[in-house]
Amino acid sequence: MDDNRGRWAAAGVVTMFVGLATSYATAMALTIRESPVVAVAELIIRLTPGAIAEWLISIVGQLDKPLLIIGIVAFLVAMGALAGSLARHSVLKPVLVWVVLALIGGAAVMVQPGASVVDVLPVLVGFVTWLVVLSALSKPLVTERDHPELESRERRVFLMVAGVFGLAAVGIAGAGRVVGRGRRHVAESRRLLRLEGVTRPLAPTDTTIGLPGIAPWQTPNDDFYLIHTAISVPTIEPKDWTLRIHGLVDRELVLTYNDLVARQLTESWMTLNCVSNEVGGDLVGNAWWSGIRIADLLEEVGLDPSADCILQTSEDGWNCATPLSALIDDRDAMLAVAMNGKPLPIEHGFPVRTIVPGLYGYVSATKWVVDYEVTRFADVSAFWTDRGWSEEGPVKMASRIDVPRSGDDVAVGDVNVGGLAWAQHTGIDTVELSVDGGEWQPAQLAQTPSEDTWVQWALTVSLDEGEHELRVRATDNDGLEQTGVRRDVLPDGATGWHTIQVRAT
């Protein structure tokens, strides 16, 4: 007898969504940052080898996290359909499916930094929901199977019950979002925050070369590139934030947010770029940062002579080991509290993040930072270095062409070419352009207020009709010429001359 396999599978899918909804709502109500789905996604990110992660990012770019969540949900839907199908002939088998999924979710939650037993409650709520809902949806299907004469009535009952549960799932998830106002409250706290001493400068006029199409010298907050491993970014009230500095120090120091902002503020222009930035890429930006110099804090705690790094840890558990030398020299390595004259955006690390000129972010730029352990490289492991990236991560000199774009058609004759170049904490001395492999022609450089920022450049070249190849290179203030050897971003940043093709017509 056909007992309608499709409805059994549908019962499992509806059950899955209701369980996910109650789990999510519970997490929001308890102001737990990670729902179980998010916790599983972040665990997958942590367990993915660096080379595989980099390969995936090169394919899908910043869609990596949404696609990961979609993949997890698709897998859960398939597991729900499986559980529903198994329920046709067994009571125990679908329970085993729910148990396995709950164990995975619970494990992912418990390995999160600072997790407690309370954090597993959303998993338990979802598990109980799965048991109850599938049982309720199975009753009309069992009656229909055992009493064919009632098929029409029981089918209507099933559809009605499934519909009610489906609507309930939507309502519960929506209610959870309303109840979970943590992020909105933090956003409001950020909006109302007033930081004494933070200024809002305009970019100096001489930093712009005047060629339309080049990326702005000052990158607006909303346009600044975003790279982090968090699926759900931490939301921390300033009053709840603390930073502990400990380890190989003479005296431990714990700072509250008020303690930090009461100290002398330093401000500077600084360019940041990601180690994943490919030659000619846009994972780079320049902003006005305000914060407290890390060197002053470390002098206060007293450093053990054997220490050579600081293990930084974010509120979400991400960590990196930063060379101590880069934190105590004359550069403005800082605990940043403001970006372009405003409190840090939540996605960029509010309320406090680390900024270190001249180092790639994967070894320095910890968002939502809460812990500094003064230690030795030989004694620690860190997120990205455990995945094949190099230990210290000094920024590579780079230059790119913004105007024209590769593949553009340009008019025969004089063509304006321009872009950006950077070598943080060293500075750019010259930029040169080569046309079709010919001699290098010097470009005009705009001014920069600091060697820690990028610089705009431009020049005019004459192009005959046809296809042309343009390539750019830079030389830093130490006389080091940018290498033309093409290397991938792994393990310590890409190298090579940015090269584009245009057609003059």
Architecture of the domain spanning 398-504: Sandwich (2.60)
Question: What Cα–Cα distance (Å) separates residue 225 from each residue in 55, 172, 282?
Answer: 19, 34, 8
pLDDT, tens digit, 9 for 90 and up, residues 122-134: 899 889 989 988 9
Among the listed residues 338, 356, 369, 297, the one whose alpha carbon sits nearest the alpha carbon of residue 197: 338
**pLDDT digits 0-9 by tens, 343-364:** 999 999 999 999 999 999 999 9
Provide the residue count of the chain: 505
Tell me the C-alpha distance between 450 and 357, whole Å.
11
Q: What is the CATH number of domain 205-387?
A: 3.90.420.10
Q: Return the bridge partners of 221, or none.
A: none
Sole residue written with tokens 């030659």 = 279
Domains 205-387 and 398-504 share a fold: no
Q: Which of 150-154, 307-311, 324-328, 426-430 comes out lowest in average pLDDT? A: 150-154
Q: What are phi and psi of 249, to 5 degrees?
A: -130, 160
pLDDT in tens, 105-150: 999 988 887 677 778 888 998 899 899 889 888 887 777 666 665 5
Q: Where are the domains of the chain?
A: 5-180, 205-387, 398-504
The pTM for the full model equals 0.76
336 beta partners: 291, 353
Q: Which pLDDT band holds residue 170 (cuts at 50, 70, 90)?
A: low
Closest CA to 226 of 188, 289, 276: 276
Distance in Å from the first CA to the final CA of the chain: 74
- Report which of 96, 94, 118, 95 is spatially closest to residue 106, judged by C-alpha positions: 118
Report percent pLDDT > 90 for the chain.
61
Structure tokens at 427: 């500075």
Q: Is the pLDDT of residue 1 over 50?
A: no
| Residues contacting residue 472 through CB under 8 Å, at least 6 positions apart | 399, 400, 401, 419, 421, 431, 432, 433, 434, 443, 497, 498
Q: With beta carbons less than 8 A apart as the criterion, state whether 189 and 39 touch.
A: no
In this predicted model, what pLDDT tens digit does every residue of 283-327 receive, in sequence order? 999 999 999 999 999 999 999 999 999 999 999 899 999 999 999
Q: CA-based angle 255:258:263, to the nearest 5?
A: 80
pLDDT at res. 150: 54
Tokens 């070598």 correspond to what residue? 423
Locate 224 and state its tokens. 């600044």
pLDDT surpassing 50 at residue 2: no
Cα within 13 Å of Cα(464), Cβ side: 2
- Give 61's DSSP letter: G
252 neighbors 246 (Cβ within 8 angstroms): yes
